[in-house]
Amino acid sequence: MLVVDDQVLIRAGLAALMRAAPGVEVVGEAGDGEQALEILAEHETHVVLMDLRMSGMGGIAATEQIVAAREAAGRQYPRVLILTTFDLDDYVYAALKAGASGFVLKDTPPDRLLAAITVVAHGDMLFSPSISERLVEAYTLRGEAAVGPAPDLAALTAREVEVLRLVGKGMTNPEIAEHLVVGETTVKTHL
């Protein structure tokens, strides 16, 4: 397993959890997508546990490259399991489009995270229950054509969509800035 997260404490904690799990071998830790690709060039693994938003190369771009390299080599592994705090549909759709095999949230209990890794390692896909529910709802209630971001939203960046969602929840610019840990002027830029 390769653990990819730009927050050192989170990355170290995840790696320690994985190392303590029976049958899980951690081949490395990376702080961004570029480091992950470098490690994967030297080590084989079944699962890459990938954060989405990182300084440097982010999780979506790294997932695209990992999946492209895997397919070009005709291999089944590595598979990418996204682990993030961002429960946003646009991130889920982007991860699916990039070829991720799963999408779980960082509030997932350790035993469920380990179970998710096992599922992905066996070649299956897995999503957090809230995400699975929304995907099924989008597919069944709105039809196949409605699955994915709305055309008008497709032109927006992920951060702009995130800010708009928070505005839609009634948050003020200062509240959004505090929630996203950015300056208020940054929030205004994204509106």
Instruction: Confirm if 130 and 87 have CB atoms less than 8 A apart.
Output: yes
Residue type, 56: G
Share of the chain above pLDDT 90, in %: 59
Query: Average pLDDT for residues 150-159, to the nearest whole number?
Result: 68
pTM to 2 decimals?
Answer: 0.72
**Domain map of the chain by residue range?**
2-136, 156-189
Q: What percent of the chain has pLDDT over 70?
A: 90
Question: What gap in Å lies between CA 162 and CA 190, rounded to an integer?
Answer: 9
Give how far the C-alpha of residue 50 lies from the chain's centroid of Cα atoms, to the nearest Å: 6
Provide the pLDDT for residue 71: 93
Contact predicate 126/101, CB 8 Å: yes
pLDDT score recorded for residue 1: 96
pLDDT tens string 8-56: 999 999 999 999 999 899 999 999 999 999 999 999 999 999 999 998 8
CATH architecture classification, 2-136: 3-Layer(aba) Sandwich (3.40)
| Mean pLDDT calculated for residue range 70-79 | 93
pLDDT band at 170; cut points 50, 70, 90: confident
Task: With a cut of 70, say whether residue 102 has pLDDT above it.
Answer: yes
- Average model confidence (pLDDT) across the chain: 87
Q: Name the band, by pLDDT with cuts 50, 70 and 90, for residue 157.
A: confident
Asked whether the predicted pLDDT for residue 136 surpasses 80, the reply is no
Higher pLDDT, 147 or 17: 17
